[in-house]
Amino acid sequence: MKALPKKDFPVEQARRFLEPGPIVLVSTAWRGQRNLMTMGWHMVMGFSPSLVATYLWDANHSHALARGSGECVINVPGVELLDTVVDIGNCSGREVDKFARFGLDALPAREVGAPLVGQCHSCFECRLYDDSQVAASNLFIWEIVHAHVAPRPKLPRTVHYRGDGQFMVAGAEVSRRRRFKPDML
């Protein structure tokens, strides 16, 4: 394979190529308040226990609710919710109940106080596993304690943020099972 020619690129835009996964909706609840926020900054950190890290800016309403409760639900929407996902990110939960404003079903979770988003394909109930990075970098490390996944579609068309208001939609799956070595990726 031939090397691709490259040119300098602004480092502050590197995330356009590195965003790790789908846009998610993080729901939180604490002391009679609930919120829903749009998030692109998250990463898988472990399999057993199942750990996920999220960046929650300390100026966001969700930060205070997550910090207070030590719980959240990470909800994975499909492309059909893209406009709603953007609109959720454009308003503050301090001023509006986002579930009501956007007509989303807040369903009870089994293990945590934060609600599931009924319209999302997958919902992962989380408890705070490690808060050692919260004060320094707003990084919450969660353990997924219960998972809810719709059987259909098997492969949801998730949305991935590319920066500057641009999104990519998950496409066709490509298999390399015969070449793959378990636990190496």
**What's the pLDDT tens digit per position in 129-175?**
999 999 999 999 999 999 999 999 988 999 999 888 889 999 888 88
Q: Give the model's pLDDT for residue 185.
A: 65
Whole-number average pLDDT of the chain: 93
Residue 12 has pLDDT above 90, yes or no: no
Q: Give the model's pLDDT for residue 10.
A: 82
Rounded Cα gap, residues 167 and 89, in angstroms: 14
For residue 134, give the nearest of 68, 180, 184 by alpha carbon: 68
* DSSP string over 112-138: SSSPEETTSSEEEEEEEEE-TTHHHH-
For residue 97, give the nearest of 59, 125, 65 by alpha carbon: 65
- Please report which confidence band the pLDDT of residue 54 belongs to, taking 50, 70 and 90 as the band edges: very high
- The SS3 call for residue 63 is helix
- Please report which confidence band the pLDDT of residue 14 belongs to, taking 50, 70 and 90 as the band edges: confident
142, β-bridge pairs: 52, 128
Residue 125 has pLDDT above 80, yes or no: yes
By the 8 A CB rule, do 28 and 38 touch? no
Rounded Cα gap, residues 87 and 6, in angstroms: 36
Q: Give the model's pLDDT for residue 176.
A: 87
Looking at residues 43-47, what average pLDDT do you find?
90
Residue 19 has pLDDT above 70, yes or no: no
